[in-house]
């Protein structure tokens, strides 16, 4: 199992994949109660387009318009046993942090850091030290603690009246879908795989039924819950169906979820963060225990992500009273689908 991936520090027990969910829980807040107040230019978001957990932060940063206040460092899609690396930058060095490996930022704060080096991470630019890698809390804080820096028209991704329902959906989606595909892919026994497979598709069936007559998971606008589900669905056919043996059916064969995923993909802030080439390169080349040859499959055909979804017939207002984000900055654009 990859030692530096999002599953870093996780393990297999009695054949079952167990994710290490102990993260650096320091928070960047409006009042700075943990010693790290929200400030323009003070922090750098380090992410990787390949990683579903990091992809959440890229989407939320776009939707809320945090680009002017929170710079972005992107690691390449592959890494070595020590750390994610800045292979996409000239000389393999992040131009702001001046480091080749994300590991350097972790060790700058915790010299004996014992866990996996994961993305996303927020790094304090001045000290070069990691502040947090708690990806689940990170996007919630973007929505609630960084409000002074939201763009005009930013959506309410974690509205107070809906938080309990969003939290409940998020728990199920994480347990059975986001992490469920990994439990299939890294199962160490047939029994563990069979159980994970059944649990994953039972959850997908439940979510599909929920979305049959509603455009979004909670309320009538996009929320944090949709962001979290989308990053797994968008990788399903390209990676999880084959690579992780989640092969009861492809996403394209699940009518409700396929239409829902295309609806989000075609919404500004979602599909324009997705780089399918990096996604496939990461999973198929890094997980050599699953794919020893490192061969990256040529398919699937991706042009169907741009076909009509007709979900607008269900109503709903993608951004509520807000507006879509502007196009990505030129330096942050992803390859267009052909």
> What does each of the 338 residues of the chain score in pLDDT, given as a tens digit?
333 344 665 656 557 776 767 899 999 999 999 999 999 999 999 999 999 999 999 999 999 999 999 999 999 999 988 999 999 999 999 999 999 999 999 999 999 999 999 999 999 999 999 999 999 999 999 999 999 999 999 999 999 999 999 999 999 999 999 999 999 999 999 999 999 999 999 999 999 999 999 999 999 999 999 999 999 999 999 999 999 999 999 999 999 999 999 999 999 999 999 999 999 999 999 999 999 999 999 999 999 999 999 999 999 999 999 999 999 999 999 999 87
How do 129-132 and 121-124 pair as beta strands?
antiparallel
Cα 77 to the center of its chain, rounded Å: 13
Exactly one of 23, 43, 106, 182 is catalytic; which is it?
182
Domain residue ranges in the chain: 11-149, 160-332
Active site annotation includes 193 = no
Fold of 160-332: Glutathione S-transferase Yfyf (Class Pi); Chain A, domain 2 (1.20.1050)
- pTM of structure: 0.96
Which class is 11-149 in CATH? alpha beta
Query: For the CA atoms of 1, 53, 300, 258, what is the dihedral angle to 10 degrees?
Result: 130
Longest dimension (CA), the chain: 54
**Catalytic pick among 51, 75, 184, 246:** 51
């Amino acid at each position: 199992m990859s030692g530096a991936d999002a599953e870093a520090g996780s393990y297999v027990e009695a054949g079952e994949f167990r994710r290490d969910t102990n993260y650096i829980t320091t928070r960047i807040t409006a009042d700075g109660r943990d010693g790290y107040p929200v400030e323009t230019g003070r922090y750098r978001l380090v992410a990787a387009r390949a990683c579903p957990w990091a992809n959440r932060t890229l989407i939320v940063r776009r939707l809320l318009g945090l680009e002017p206040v929170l710079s972005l460092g992107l690691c390449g899609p592959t890494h070595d046993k020590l750390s994610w690396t800045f292979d996409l930058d000239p000389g393999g060095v992040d131009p702001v942090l001046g480091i080749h490996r994300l590991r350097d930022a972790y060790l700058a704060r915790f010299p004996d850091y014992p866990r996996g080096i994961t993305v996303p991470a927020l790094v304090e630019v001045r000290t070069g030290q990691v502040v947090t890698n708690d990806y689940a809390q990170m996007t919630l804080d973007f929505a609630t603690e960084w409000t002074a820096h939201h763009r005009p028209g930013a959506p309410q991704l974690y509205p107070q009246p809906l938080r309990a329902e969003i939290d409940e959906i998020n728990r199920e989606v994480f347990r059975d879908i986001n992490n469920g595909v990994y439990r299939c892919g890294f199962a160490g026994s047939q029994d563990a795989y069979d159980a994970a497979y059944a649990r994953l598709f039972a959850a997908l069936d439940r979510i599909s039924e929920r979305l049959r007559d509603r455009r979004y998971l909670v309320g009538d606008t996009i929320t944090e819950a949709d962001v979290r589900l989308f990053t797994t669905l968008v990788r399903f056919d390209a990676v999880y169906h084959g690579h992780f043996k989640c092969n009861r059916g492809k996403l394209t064969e699940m009518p409700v979820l396929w239409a829902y995923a295309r609806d989000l993909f075609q919404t500004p802030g979602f599909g324009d963060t997705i780089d399918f080439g990096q996604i496939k390169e990461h999973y198929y080349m890094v997980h050599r225990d699953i794919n020893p040859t490192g061969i990256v499959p040529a398919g699937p055909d991706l042009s169907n992500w741009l076909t009509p979804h007709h979900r607008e017939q269900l109503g709903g207002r993608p951004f509520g009273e807000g507006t879509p984000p502007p196009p990505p900055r030129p330096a942050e654009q992803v390859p267009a689908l052909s």
